[in-house]
Structure 1
């Protein structure tokens, strides 16, 4: 059906169902009254399904459709082990509680239509699922358990809520303890478990590497590139030719460096810097990936499908094949490379007083590591300074400018989460032997500073040009979460000022500066980050709360992020004068979907990375059962208290195991209080715990409180 006609039919159908003279009716009745031709019945059904998916109309139990009211909305169901769940509605801060009796067989991540009750029970709104719009889990990863005549699979994701029944002929020879991928053939209902058939055996639960393979399969992360993509990449030249350089700004004579980790192979940003009087000339040169990944090719479609590279503990799943990411697109030292460069003139207050975005050709002089630059700037290491003698003045200039840029961001309220992220050290068998913080030093920070200013400069430029673009946006945090944070930090003697509506990022920035160097710094920083919303991609510029920036985008990593690659295309097309009305319309049409897909794949990557970290942390703590640790209470729920250790490991003290009293969760105070002794445990309180048990596949560590 023609797109315009389809939209017109949607409009007519909505008006039709909104009319008071018509009652809810079945699909066949509607098609008859609207005189839908026989050959368009399939299209008509798709229109109805699209309107249901949008939450604009709904179906009752008898299959009759009606216009949704304000209390009926579409959302994503989040399941729990205990049967009940929540529905998250896009654009709304508060999710909807769904009792076990009202889930209508919905499983974790299903798209559902929910009817929200008018009255509220306690603080949280409650609802009932009317229908399941779209199933999200067609395959599930779990552990196989065999019975005499059948088997079942216990899903790794505890939010899935139900075991999956497997008939004997569909077990594929799996034995007890096999990690398997199950194709669901029947989703069951509230009284009947889902059914499925095993389509892949990943290995035994105790085999090395099976844990990470299970996470990859659970998130459906694509490992192999399709044949047509590899064929396209095979045709790519190893080096750039003279024809490709024509028309580009030649920056090969500028002293140019890359600064990355020792093990990095996909180098997509390089820096040049000089100073005249009080003006710094900063060049941020980004690999021109869009020159090799052309729009609508198999390679482009696969990159959009992947959305981002995924960094797991022991491997990288790249967005682009290695021949590109580690080869012609990587800004390797001593080789000519194509770049998209943001050349900025910055004054001594950190203001960008002039800039130019150009297609360029560059040649990196030295491939530097964070370790080497740290030795030069922080340690003043003589041997290192001698080795890179000709570049030392540039590094000192970088340090000078980075501090100016950082101070400018600080003054406007930008939040710098300078707390250690976990790095799990594995042995050759993949077993964790240590958990360390990632090192953030002057070298890592100055690269962040330069990437941030380039991203802001590019975003502001294209915002004011009113050109279709992909922005990185970060909404203001939810007031309830900020209040919860306020209660938590009060236990440590800190406070934040909250306005009538919103909190200013400066308040959170002040908090992080107050806790700097304290024993609770890592915990409070992490919980402050958790209290904020997740940043996402959007086709509209709505500002970035965390950076206190009006305009922000991702421009600096097109090798590993699709939004960067997408805006490179737009920028280059604009520079060449090719953005006419037709291309404007094209981008206006596709960019909301690109932004949505990029946000989804980013979340998938983040969740997979977090799951692998959790698995390895639990595996690490399994070697420390019986040992005692100092920790801090980081969360309190009706079923127990979460305690975080200094190495970022978090475990659970179950309320059922607190045997010295009957403890009750006081939600308003975020505390656990004994009924008889009135002993109280609060968020942020320091405690001593013993590791009593671990369950790697449930990602659970059990602690027991040690009385002092």
Structure 2
């Protein structure tokens, strides 16, 4: 039988009462206690029911209860029914999360808590746009057996501005979003079009969000012009994906108040590491230095110190600075430019571990065994003075090539750099033993001239120094996760789930087309992937295979519940090493400081539901940054390729469709399309299972991972698309042109005629298949 709310519940039994007392002079029941009581009652409770339940009669207490319930409703923890009763969300029937729109007008809800995605029909999506946070009611299953949802409430609208092309038809203006996940056009009334002209790229403010009966309505607030001009690629990409660029005045004012140097009182009570030769090792163009490292041998292995910028000392909860950092979620690193999470006076100045200046830091000190295992670790607050700012190339040249000039310049840290490489080799072996996946992915570097024009594109080189820093940071993050779990304090973990069965099956089919075999048990392990990685290490199509393997895996998330990290083969992992550029790291630093201060874990200012929401938001901003960076990079590559029209390149077939072949160019890592009408004079049959096109008359075959030579035919910078024409014959595995008997062997000896009933209008059938 459900409880009668008039029987009462003792507020003194609230497990988070101490935390509430620290925050408020006259505390009201915590969110956790309110949810617990609501679940125990097993029926909706109104605000009056809650007041009676807790015996609240004081006006201030009643107002506090009202505000708390409103905040819980705003955050999606509860919803109100038509009678004003509150109902718990995240139960069997009500789910909250973020919308991910699909190309067909439908969508999926990614739940805040771990669970199956919820299908949203095109009818439900009429009221929504990609990225909105909502609450849905589960109403059954769709035709694929997935949970299907019905919209209950919109918690947060994700799109206040939309960037796209302005068009007019029959006197009606509208903006077609450049972001392909925004499936609805934005209606622009005549008085709100501003200076926009038909076909121009614009930014429009959303005045009215979509509903079941009408599309969203907006007004043009900025005009980029007919085309994406040189130098504006990053501004456009940031605008398209809703990345804030300018800082509010209050944020800049707060950041300037700290000054340019660390005051002496701030150094008091910290461990003094200023005589320790800590060094930073980063990219040549880096300006924000999060981490510094030091290593010395011990009787049982090494002492490894990872010192991280103490951003939490400056960025405090409740400030405009913290609110803006949380909203941004992370810094976004574009080619030649950065949109920082924190103002530059902090990110490049007072927080950055610049050389030869005092800086506050959070320190992870680790004892590493000879086999690379983490034996012990401890955390403390410190003050440091970086002995040197090294680039990856510097560190590699000092240790491997013994460069005399660099060794003279950095003579004070030479042995410590050697020690770092020693511990790196042990950490690397330990990584291989546990079966972590080593995606040594190929990336390209874009070089610019003084005017910002793309000068060249070439593959990035990954040195041992890159891997050294990566392994040191991974170990510090492992130590952090252990520390958080040991003290049972709520925080954010970096969670990477194992791949799903359908993703594994798709990967298995793909690798079979390349002559390989993926051996995976019912419960896949990272070692399954690692073994395949070893087999493709020296193949010319390695980059393609690694890319498909990477896409087969689940995306990593930030969550307060630890689910381990599949890719790194770790049972617990938390980001600690980059608080200048990642907000989850800042949350983790606050949790560590809370423990170091001697406070109880249950008095930590963040409650679980707050961390769920923050984790989901930071996961979204992380993926948003990836998409924006990818768009900006592709625009720049297309601009470079616009000067290569008519030139020939070698590449690999990265995708096969019914309408043609996608080819990725060697070293440039840019994809273009060979339309099926540009292949040989033949009718090509598409085999979706075998990922191949086969000529009916000639038997010529184009399949996934084949080498091919192409000519650049057309480049559309605004659409970020390239068209290629094939040149000569397919290439062999090492880039050689196949001729004579080799061509006949690969074509399978098929000749004229083909199977009965396959002749017809070749061009017409191709167009229909597209």
Relative to the length of structure 1, the TM-score reads 0.85
Asked whether the 8 Å contact 1:471–1:538 carries over to 2, the reply is yes
* Gap change, CA 1:548 and 1:146, over 3 Å in 2: same
**1:686: which partner in 2?**
707
Separation in 1 of the partners of 2:560 and 2:434?
A: 25
**2:526: which partner in 1?**
505
Gaps of 5+ in 2: 1-27, 46-61, 730-770
Match among 589, 612, 623 for residue 632 of structure 2:
612
Separation in 2 of the partners of 1:84 and 1:662?
A: 33
* Gap change, CA 1:285 and 1:235, over 3 Å in 2: same
Task: Give per-residue Cα distances to partners, 1:346-398, cap 9 Å, x unaligned.
Answer: 12111222222111111211221212112112323222223323322222221
**1:477: which partner in 2?**
499
After superposing the two structures, state which structure 1 stretch, 425-434 or 402-411, moved more.
Answer: 425-434
**2:665: which partner in 1?**
645
* Gap change, CA 1:555 and 1:672, over 3 Å in 2: same
**1:590: which partner in 2?**
610
Separation in 2 of the partners of 1:462 and 1:71?
A: 32
Gaps of 5+ in 1: 18-38, 60-64
Asked whether the 8 Å contact 2:272–2:382 carries over to 1, the reply is yes
Deviation at 1:438, TM superposition (A): 2.5
* Gap change, CA 1:567 and 1:667, over 3 Å in 2: same
**1:535: which partner in 2?**
556
**1:294: which partner in 2?**
316
**2:475: which partner in 1?**
453
* Gap change, CA 1:424 and 1:327, over 3 Å in 2: same
After superposing the two structures, state which structure 1 stretch, 442-451 or 244-253, moved more.
Answer: 244-253
Asked whether the 8 Å contact 1:270–1:284 carries over to 2, the reply is yes
Separation in 1 of the partners of 2:534 and 2:257?
A: 52
The answer on 1:515 being equivalent to 2:536 is yes
* Gap change, CA 1:71 and 1:328, over 3 Å in 2: closer
The answer on 1:627 being equivalent to 2:615 is no
The aligned runs of 1:47-196 (5 Å cut-off) are: 78-79=100-101, 83-90=104-111, 91=114, 96=119, 104=126, 107-110=129-132, 120=143, 133=154, 136-145=158-167, 149-185=171-207, 194-196=216-218
**2:577: which partner in 1?**
556
The aligned runs of 1:357-372 (5 Å cut-off) are: 357-372=379-394
* Gap change, CA 1:228 and 1:130, over 3 Å in 2: closer
The aligned runs of 1:309-388 (5 Å cut-off) are: 309-388=331-410
Deviation at 1:178, TM superposition (A): 3.4
The answer on 1:284 being equivalent to 2:306 is yes
Deviation at 1:222, TM superposition (A): 1.8
Deviation at 1:236, TM superposition (A): 0.6
After superposing the two structures, state which structure 1 stretch, 47-56 or 167-176, moved more.
Answer: 47-56
Q: Residue 391 of structure 1: SS of its match in structure 2?
A: helix
Deviation at 1:504, TM superposition (A): 0.8
The answer on 1:249 being equivalent to 2:276 is no
* Gap change, CA 1:16 and 1:447, over 3 Å in 2: closer
Deviation at 1:553, TM superposition (A): 0.8
* Gap change, CA 1:528 and 1:390, over 3 Å in 2: same
Asked whether the 8 Å contact 1:308–1:560 carries over to 2, the reply is yes
Match among 404, 409, 420 for residue 431 of structure 2:
409
* Gap change, CA 1:477 and 1:116, over 3 Å in 2: farther
Asked whether the 8 Å contact 2:656–2:691 carries over to 1, the reply is yes
Asked whether the 8 Å contact 1:538–1:596 carries over to 2, the reply is yes
Deviation at 1:203, TM superposition (A): 4.5
Separation in 1 of the partners of 2:246 and 2:490?
A: 33
Separation in 2 of the partners of 1:15 and 1:562?
A: 37
Task: Give per-residue Cα distances to partners, 1:662-683, cap 9 Å, x unaligned.
Answer: 5554444344455676655432
Separation in 2 of the partners of 1:247 and 1:540?
A: 33
Separation in 2 of the partners of 1:434 and 1:575?
A: 50
* Gap change, CA 1:181 and 1:167, over 3 Å in 2: same
Relative to the length of structure 2, the TM-score reads 0.78
Task: Give per-residue Cα distances to partners, 1:488-539, cap 9 Å, x unaligned.
Answer: 2223332221112x31101111221222233122222222111111111111
* Gap change, CA 1:538 and 1:107, over 3 Å in 2: closer
Task: Give per-residue Cα distances to partners, 1:604-635, cap 9 Å, x unaligned.
Answer: 21221111112222222222223333222223
**2:459: which partner in 1?**
437
Asked whether the 8 Å contact 2:72–2:78 carries over to 1, the reply is no
Separation in 2 of the partners of 1:578 and 1:111?
A: 34
Separation in 2 of the partners of 1:119 and 1:243?
A: 62
Deviation at 1:649, TM superposition (A): 0.5
Separation in 2 of the partners of 1:97 and 1:201?
A: 34
Separation in 2 of the partners of 1:294 and 1:428?
A: 39
**1:36: which partner in 2?**
none
Task: Give per-residue Cα distances to partners, 1:95-133, cap 9 Å, x unaligned.
Answer: 8595x7885465444567597875746xx8697977884
Q: CA RMSD in A?
A: 3.8
Deviation at 1:274, TM superposition (A): 1.1
Q: Residue 534 of structure 1: SS of its match in structure 2?
A: coil
* Gap change, CA 1:562 and 1:585, over 3 Å in 2: closer
Separation in 2 of the partners of 1:431 and 1:126?
A: 49
Separation in 1 of the partners of 2:372 and 2:72?
A: 53
Asked whether the 8 Å contact 1:57–1:68 carries over to 2, the reply is no
Deviation at 1:55, TM superposition (A): 11
**1:272: which partner in 2?**
294
Task: Give per-residue Cα distances to partners, 1:654-698, cap 9 Å, x unaligned.
Answer: 456557455554444344455676655432232333333232232
**1:701: which partner in 2?**
722
After superposing the two structures, state which structure 1 stretch, 543-552 or 345-354, moved more.
Answer: 345-354
Separation in 2 of the partners of 1:434 and 1:58?
A: 60
Deviation at 1:311, TM superposition (A): 0.8
Deviation at 1:169, TM superposition (A): 1.9
**1:390: which partner in 2?**
412
The answer on 1:603 being equivalent to 2:648 is no
Asked whether the 8 Å contact 1:491–1:685 carries over to 2, the reply is no
Asked whether the 8 Å contact 1:179–1:214 carries over to 2, the reply is no
Q: Residue 631 of structure 1: SS of its match in structure 2?
A: strand
Task: Give per-residue Cα distances to partners, 1:577-621, cap 9 Å, x unaligned.
Answer: 12364x247444532232222212212212211111122222222
Deviation at 1:87, TM superposition (A): 2.3
Separation in 1 of the partners of 2:312 and 2:183?
A: 43
